[in-house]
Amino acid sequence: MSWFEVFRLAFDAIWAHKLRSFLTLLGVIIGVASITAVATVIEGFSEYVSEKVAVYGVGALTVEKAAFQGFADFEKFLRALQRNPDLKVDDLLALREQLTLADAVAAQDGSAADVRYGNVVVPTVGVQGVTANFNDLSTVELAEGRVISLFDEENRRMVCVLGADIAKELFPRGGGIGQTVKIGRDPYEVIGIAKPLGTFLGQSQDNYVQIPLSTFHKIYGDQRSLTLYVRPRRGIPNELVEDEIRAILRTRHRLAPSQEDDFSITSDPATQGIFTTLLATVSAVVLPITGISLVVGGIVIMNIMLVSVTERTREIGIRKSLGARRRDILRQFLAESALLSLIGGIIGLGLAYVTMLIVSHFSGLPVALPFWAVALAVVVSGSVGLFFGIYPANKAAQLDPIQALRAD
């Protein structure tokens, strides 16, 4: 028989028992759907992190009191938060004066307050105190108005830039520039409205207001640690800039050569690396667990194929008596098993993708269906059918035609 004839007969056998075939497929459908869903989320997060983590521009270095480097160093991170001194304006000024391999150094401080305009109140808004050059290092772009200037910062002016969500809440019809809003108890003139940044892990990145750092310290005090952002000069490797930052801050903080840094320096690739490690860990744990359902599905297929061999013993005898060879019978049952599993894989693949799109729509969870997941679903589901179909197919092929014809 040709392969076309083999698969036609296999499809006819599956179609003749539609309900039984569907019930048999459930294990494979669930297994493939689970693996595809996990792969879709992992790929989506990977792409999402690449796009969203680097909020402060390509190649910008972040200098903090302590930075989370991974779950393995969580205790070290907590100790650093307790032990390390806060980064202050003097540290910012020292880096600006002494760094030779960077062309910009900015700073940010933060708190939270209610923002009010008229009778509209937006609660618990992130208040960012930023230096005049902060937006030069970030991906924040203005939809209208202007950014905070050096004049605003030097004179502690009561001006602000609104994030897109805040502007939409306070000024749904537009026209916010030049208006006065209250941040906490203090009035501020709106000088700019930012373009939307979107969400990150379901949390809005547009729920903020920016005010000059000097104004922030006047209103909220300077008892918190600054976050500093350093942009290396074009063509200068990040590692060299990190070394220069480290030398300046260690000298300022009077650290002995044997002492550890009392600050942390991170970059976009390092931040992405944390998420990549996390996703790899999740993949290593979750994918094998979801793969168990595929094994169960394969066992169900083997069981139903054994039942099918028993039911079709007489058919096998007739075919052998008419000249069908052992390999023809073997191919027929292997093709039926593989096709059954493959159909389940395709259904599971489609089910997973549609489900994840719906979940993404309502939850904001990032998803992306990679080509390797599609190929893996098809190959694995077909292979499961082949593997678990070998024994039933071999049993069918070894039937004696005389005994098979005598079967009821």
CB crowding 216-225: b at 16 or more within 10 Å, else e: bbebbebebb
Rounded to the nearest 10 degrees, how much is the dihedral formed by the CA atoms of 85, 105, 243, 110? Answer: 30
pLDDT over 60 at 278, yes or no: yes
8 A C-beta contact, residue 132 and residue 148: yes
- pLDDT digit string, tens, across residues 329-361: 677 777 777 777 788 778 888 888 788 778 777
CA pair distance 181, 121, nearest whole angstrom: 10
pLDDT over 80 at 367, yes or no: no
Residues 167 and 287 occupy one common structural domain: no
- Of the two residues 339 and 144, the one the predictor is more confident about is 144
pLDDT of residue 378: 72
- pLDDT digit string, tens, across residues 147-172: 999 999 999 999 999 999 999 999 99
**Per-residue CA distances from 70 to 200, 239, 269, 272 (Å):** 19, 20, 14, 11
Asked if residue 60 is part of any domain, the answer here is no
* Average of per-residue pLDDT across 356-378: 71
Residues 188 and 283 occupy one common structural domain: no
* Average of per-residue pLDDT across 177-194: 95
Q: How many domains does the chain have?
A: 2
Residues 113 and 173 occupy one common structural domain: yes
* Average of per-residue pLDDT across 6-31: 74
Residues 210 and 291 occupy one common structural domain: no
Residues 298 and 186 occupy one common structural domain: no
Give the pLDDT band of residue 311 (cuts 50, 70, 90). low
Residues 217 and 159 occupy one common structural domain: yes
Gap between the terminal Cα atoms of the chain: 26
Lookup: tokens for 1: 């028989």
* Average of per-residue pLDDT across 245-271: 85
Residues 291 and 400 occupy one common structural domain: yes
CA pair distance 230, 102, nearest whole angstrom: 7
Residues 173 and 121 occupy one common structural domain: yes
- pLDDT digit string, tens, across residues 213-224: 999 999 999 888
Hey, CA dihedral for 319, 323, 326, 328, is it positive or negative?
negative
Asked if residue 130 is part of any domain, the answer here is yes
**Looking at the whole model, is its pTM more than 0.85?**
no
Asked if residue 250 is part of any domain, the answer here is no
pLDDT over 80 at 293, yes or no: no
CA pair distance 32, 45, nearest whole angstrom: 20
- Of the two residues 348 and 287, the one the predictor is more confident about is 348
Q: What percent of the chain has pLDDT over 90?
A: 32
**Per-residue CA distances from 328 to 14, 324, 403 (Å):** 18, 6, 18
Residues 115 and 194 occupy one common structural domain: yes
- Of the two residues 245 and 289, the one the predictor is more confident about is 245
pLDDT over 90 at 69, yes or no: no
Tell me what the pLDDT averaged over the chain comes to.
79
CA pair distance 408, 406, nearest whole angstrom: 7
Max mean pLDDT among 127-136, 197-206, 268-277, 336-345 falls in 127-136
Lookup: tokens for 377: 């679903």
Strand 159-162 relative to strand 186-194, pairing: parallel
pLDDT of residue 54: 47
> Which range of residues forms the domain containing residue 277?
3-51+273-406
Give the pLDDT band of residue 56 (cuts 50, 70, 90). very low
Lookup: tokens for 221: 């005090």
Q: What percent of the chain has pLDDT over 70?
A: 70
